[in-house]
Chains A and B, each alone.
Chain A
Amino acid sequence: GNSVTQMEGPVTLSEEAFLTINCTYTATGYPSLFWYVQYPGEGLQLLLKATKADDKGSNKGFEATYRKETTSFHLEKGSVQVSDSAVYFCALSAYGGFKTIFGAGTRLFVK
């Protein structure tokens, strides 16, 4: 079945450090891939998405590239800020937004 695996946290970085959160997936067909973010005390919100191979999603300085050959969708940011402290979820959907499958989440602390 479809699944998402992302690196365990917590990840602790200093401000302005480079961030990578690894995400790999298993899916039949051609899923859409997403990163969601959950700030403290708030609901999940979409950070970025990519709908086909080699697409790059980007938002708020974060980027992720849909790599079909390695079944990966790693999240990167060149310079993190304290305000980026949150839990990040990698997710996939095999039928548009229907039945989105989430990874376990990676907590990021920026100090």
Chain B
Amino acid sequence: GAGVSQSPRYKVAKRGQDVALRCDPISGHVSLFWYQQALGQGPEFLTYFQNEAQLDKSGLPSDRFFAERPEGSVSTLKIQRTQQEDSAVYLCATEGRNTEAFFGQGTRLTVV
């Protein structure tokens, strides 16, 4: 597609519920990143894929967070047993040829 697409745009989850956030990257972009942006803060790195390989997951805050990109295109970020501190905007980005990152509009997750 023309840009990075994320769905849903907004998600309200009850505490303890599992959620899945989807990222459709720009076609042909090899690198894909997930970031978490808390209110009033800058994005913080969660994890990085090169094609289907997850090369860095050092930013995932706990083992409740899991990301996959099985065919090297669409990626899903899953959060199990959501907690209130998981409330944030989750951003997906892909990297173009000149190392410029292209961001999706994000998914705003609110855990109640």
Contacts and interface: CB of A to CB of B under 8 A. Distances in A.
B42 to A, nearest CB: 3
B41 A105 contact: yes
Interface string A77-111: 00000000000010101001111111111000000
B41 A100 contact: no
Interface of A: 4, 32, 36, 42-46, 49, 89, 91, 93, 96-105
Given A43-B91, A43-B106, A102-B42, 15 more contacts: A43-B104, A44-B93, A44-B101, A44-B103, A97-B95, A98-B48, A98-B56, A98-B95, A99-B56, A100-B33, A100-B101, A101-B45, A104-B40, A104-B41, A105-B42
13 contacts: A36-B103, A43-B104, A44-B93, A45-B103, A46-B100, A89-B43, A93-B99, A97-B95, A99-B45, A100-B45, A102-B35, A102-B43, A103-B42
B44 interface: yes
A43 B4 CA distance: 10
Main secondary structure of the interface of A (DSSP, over half): strand
Contacts, number: 55
B45 A44 contact: no
Main secondary structure of the interface of B (DSSP, over half): strand
Nearest to A102: B42
- 9 A-B pairs closest in CB distance: A102-B42, A97-B99, A96-B99, A97-B95, A44-B103, A43-B105, A43-B103, A104-B42, A102-B43
